[in-house]
């Protein structure tokens, strides 16, 4: 298969046809009743009302309400309804997919890094560039790399909103008791030396380290560690799950849990870390605010261990607008998106959630400067952005791959499954999807 870079892939018009069926399989969430689909009667909805579907990333529901209040104060002719789209990005996507099949479409929808492009290539979300000037959007103020993540065939199909990286969180009290330096590990080999010492300190019923489960994005948080072992999920479209270095990383995961017994899988890493059940974990920058509020101990954040190059992916979500609503609704929706992601508001969102500010002008916000000076844990996320790496195709471009990968890793972690067999199963599943739904269009 020829090697295509990220933008080359997104420029493949042939994927429109093959992916049409994929969006229909994305899920069957509970869409609102009605008869409007992607190009149905939703186009004639109330243009003065902006329905915003969100999973409230980083437990941000109150923050989103404040942003809406600010917007309506400046735009009294418009009403914004904040609608709960689900508990995570997957549920929002499922609900949106159901609405495309026959329901009331939102005006703005949160779509994560592994969902937006499926809807772009099927025409379900609108290209925004023609609307930028009308809505007064200054795209030059967005962080270039974050804005470029939504580029497809010369158009942007979303704008960055709750953008994140994984962070290494650690309990400073436990670190001190274990005689460790006040920092994150420089490599996973170093942490493997630290793990048993930390486990002795925390004792039974607690763990030196906790990994999230498949639903808690284990496929995302373990991507960086795999890179540092010299492995990968893929190199372009060439899957790498059976390569020796990738297998070595999988063996490390298995060993720390089942042999050395200083790590475990948690159903909610942020809450379990905050409760002191985990001495360390890898969680999103978006968890920072909640952990800060809930933890009764001093904790630190650090870059993901990566001594020889990037060991951390970016992630998070953007805001998209359905193509099947009227032009007036699109214009008002984009006006809302532009407002809630402007310099001051993305700074406010960042300070209260831990997500990265998505506008360059946020760096000039006095409150943001003060916040970063006073909160070094938050500065870690901003600084780490410079040493992140784009995610492997296998996770973000192959439909359903995130859950396939996460479930396989969870099987190793929870069931002590054979690494080589499990990774071969993951590779086989993803290769079938690529062969059937992607290769014919290349």
Handedness of CA 346, 347, 348, 350 (dihedral sign): positive
148: enclosing H helix or E strand: helix 144-148
Outline where DSSP puts E strands in 306-365. Answer: 315-320
Return the closest-CA partner of residue 353 out of 60, 52, 65, 84.
60
Q: Where are the beta strands (DSSP E) in 26-165?
A: 49-54, 79-84, 108-112, 151-152, 155-156, 159-164
**Residue 36 confidence (pLDDT):** 32
- Going along 219-344, which residue ranges are E strands? 234-235, 238-239, 263-266, 280-284, 299-302, 315-320
Q: CB of 321 within 8 A of CB of 333?
A: yes
**Rounded distance between C-alpha atoms, residue 358 and residue 342, angstroms:** 8
pLDDT at 171: 98
Write the DSSP string, 95-118: HHHHHHHHSPPPSEEEEETTTHHH
Give the burial class of 74: count Cβ atoms within 10 A of its Cβ; 0-12 exposed, 13-18 middle, 19 or more buried. Answer: exposed
User: Residue 282 in contact with residue 313, Cβ under 8 Å?
Assistant: no
pLDDT tens for the chain, 442 residues long, are 434 444 444 444 334 333 333 333 333 233 332 323 333 345 567 899 999 999 999 889 999 999 999 999 999 999 999 999 999 999 999 999 999 998 899 999 999 988 898 888 789 999 999 999 888 999 999 988 889 888 887 899 999 999 999 999 999 999 999 999 999 999 999 999 999 999 999 999 999 999 999 988 999 999 999 999 999 999 989 999 999 999 999 999 999 999 999 999 999 999 999 999 999 999 999 899 899 999 999 999 999 999 888 899 988 999 999 999 999 999 999 999 999 999 999 999 999 988 999 999 998 999 999 999 999 999 998 889 888 888 898 998 888 899 999 999 999 999 999 999 999 999 999 999 999 987 875 5
Provide the total of helices (H) and of strands (E) in the chain, helices listed first: 21, 14
CA pair distance 234, 53, nearest whole angstrom: 32
Buried/exposed 202-226: b ≥16 CB within 10 Å, e otherwise: beeebbbbbbbbbebbbbbbbbbbb
Q: Which residues contact 113 (CB under 8 A, 6 or more apart)?
A: 149, 314, 315, 316, 317, 391, 396
Which residues lie across from 320 on neighbouring strands?
Answer: 109
pLDDT digits (tens, 9 = 90+) for 394-406: 998 888 899 999 9
Residue 108 near residue 336 (C-beta atoms within 8 A): yes
86's tokens? 């689900």
* H or E stretch at 166: strand 166-171
DSSP E strands, 260-417: 263-266, 280-284, 299-302, 315-320
Of the candidates 390, 394, 422, 403, the one whose C-alpha atom is nearest the C-alpha of residue 239 is 394
Collapsing DSSP to helix, strand or coil, 174 comes out as helix
Cα separation, 213 vs 267, in Å, equals 6
Token pair listed for 424 = 């071969």
Q: Specify the pTM.
A: 0.80
Give the side-chain half-sphere CA count within 13 A for 215: 6
Contacts of 64 (CB under 8 A, 6+ apart): 52, 54, 56, 82, 340
């Amino acid at each position: 298969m020829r090697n295509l870079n990220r933008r080359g892939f997104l420029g493949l018009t042939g994927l429109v046809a093959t992916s049409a069926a994929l969006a229909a399989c994305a899920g069957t969430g509970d869409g609102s009743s009605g008869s409007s689909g992607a190009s149905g009667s939703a186009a004639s909805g109330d243009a003065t009302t902006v329905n915003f579907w969100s999973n409230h990333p980083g437990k941000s529901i109150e923050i989103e309400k404040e942003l809406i209040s600010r917007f309506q104060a400046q735009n009294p002719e418009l009403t914004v309804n904040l609608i709960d789209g689900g508990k995570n990005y997957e549920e929002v996507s499922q609900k949106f997919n159901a609405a495309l099949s026959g329901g009331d479409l939102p005006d703005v929808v949160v779509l994560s890094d592994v969902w937006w492009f499926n809807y772009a290539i099927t025409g379900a979300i609108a290209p925004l560039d023609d609307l930028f000037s009308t809505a007064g959007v200054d795209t030059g103020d967005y962080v270039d790399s974050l804005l470029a993540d939504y580029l497809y065939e010369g158009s942007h199909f979303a704008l960055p909103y709750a953008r994140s990286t994984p962070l290494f969180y650690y309990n400073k009290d436990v670190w001190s008791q274990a005689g460790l330096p006040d920092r994150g590990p420089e490599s996973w080999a170093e942490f493997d030396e630290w793990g048993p010492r930390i486990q002795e300190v925390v004792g039974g019923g607690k763990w030196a380290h906790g990994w999230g489960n498949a639903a808690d994005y284990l496929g995302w948080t373990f991507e960086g560690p795999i890179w540092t072992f010299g492995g990968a999920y893929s190199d372009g479209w060439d899957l790498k799950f059976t390569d020796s270095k990738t297998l070595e990383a999988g063996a490390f995961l298995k060993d720390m849990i089942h042999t050395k017994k200083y790590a475990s899988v948690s159903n909610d890493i942020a809450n379990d870390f905050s409760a002191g059940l985990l001495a360390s974990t890898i969680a999103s920058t978006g968890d920072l605010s909640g952990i800060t509020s809930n933890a009764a101990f001093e904790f630190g954040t650090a870059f993901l261990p990566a001594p020889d190059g990037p060991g951390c992916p970016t992630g998070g979500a953007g805001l998209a607008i359905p193509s099947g609503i009227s032009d007036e609704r699109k214009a008002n929706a984009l006006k809302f998106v532009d407002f809630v992601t402007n310099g001051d508001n993305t700074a406010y969102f960042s300070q209260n959630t831990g997500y990265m500010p998505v506008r360059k002008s946020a760096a000039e916000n006095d409150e943001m400067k003060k916040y970063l000076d006073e909160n070094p844990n938050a500065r870690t996320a901003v600084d780490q952005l410079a040493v992140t790496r784009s995610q492997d195709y296998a996770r973000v471009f192959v439909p359903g791959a995130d859950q396939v990968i996460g479930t396989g890793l969870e099987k190793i972690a929870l069931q002590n499954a054979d690494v080589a067999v499990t990774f071969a199963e993951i590779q086989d599943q993803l290769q079938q999807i690529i062969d059937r739904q992607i290769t014919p269009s290349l």
